[in-house]
Amino acid sequence: MTSVSNLQLNNGVLMPALGLGVFQTPPDETTGAVVEALRVGYRHIDTAAAYGNEREVGEGIRRSGIPRDQIFIETKIWINDYGFDETLHGFEKSAKKLGVEQLDLLILHQALPSAFDKTLEAYRALETLLADGKVRAIGVSNFMPQHIERLLAETDIVPAVNQIEVHPYFQQADLQRLHQRHGILTQAWSPIGGITFYRGSGKSSLEDPVILAIAQAHGKSAAQVMLRWGLQHDRSVIPKSVKPARIAENLDVFDFELTPDELAAIDGLETGVRGGPEPDFITLDNFSRPIPEA
């Protein structure tokens, strides 16, 4: 069983650097994926209210037989549940679906630029949950520099994490530098660039000649090289898969190290092309998704 290294969050909480993501994982496949991931050594599961599979994640954790205190559970509040009281209730819904009393990390899924006051109230609710011991750490996701700056100016607690799109073709270096200045951990979603081929852009990071050459030199896969690249840049990475072989492969990245030249070569693949939605396009009109009760 592979042992995963930890990252220390800005409040001292330790989080496994690599976790299993379950974005777009169908509920009927989620439990099995979580059980398999925990069996081979994962100890960090990343889900979200909007994914519609929190209940199945909780079931996978229970079936694994691994004690709760050995598993780091992360989930996200969706924009429909922004606002102070609404976000407190959003926590209750997620906790009940997951079958836990305390979450390890709770984050806001998106900034809501058209209603940022509601975003701020949602974050203040996270601060309350942290103070009450309902969560061990709080953070945000898909927040851009202007969102981070305003959040820092108008709330009390610096986010522990900002989960953002980061892969060799889209690295958001300026945002990552802002994170470093404020002690915010960068957590990469789509760390192997899945968004580049799921969305049909015609360019797959898994087939990039630079990455493939580095993979061949280490006897690893392109996906493993990209995960290692993220880890060596001190990022949290949360690859997703439901295939047992791929779940195990994605974890097998702690027995090799990329050279400074190899890291620089991958850094040089930046295209500046975002795969996910533009941040200003995130509105309740465009992305409303009511979150069911537990």
Catalytically active residues are 51
Q: DSSP per residue over 19-40, as a string?
A: -EE-TT--HHHHHHHHHHHHHH
Element (H, E) at 162: strand 161-165
Q: At residue 282, what are phi and psi to the nearest 5 degrees? A: -80, 100
User: CA 49, CA 97: separation in Å to the nearest integer?
Assistant: 9
Can you give the C-alpha Rg of the chain in angstroms? 18
Q: At residue 75, what are phi and psi to the nearest 5 degrees? A: -145, 175
What's the one-letter identity of residue 52? G
Q: Strands 14-16, 6-8: parallel, antiparallel or unpaired by DSSP?
A: antiparallel
Give 240's strand partners: 21
Give 16's strand partners: 6
**Which tokens hold the place of 248?**
């195990």
**Which tokens hold the place of 11?**
């409040």
Place of tokens 């996200």: 76
**CA dihedral sign of residues 217, 219, 223, 228:** negative
Element (H, E) at 128: helix 116-131
- 79, 140, 66: which is closest to 58 by C-alpha? 66
Q: At residue 18, what are phi and psi to the nearest 5 degrees? A: -120, 135
Give 77's strand partners: 108
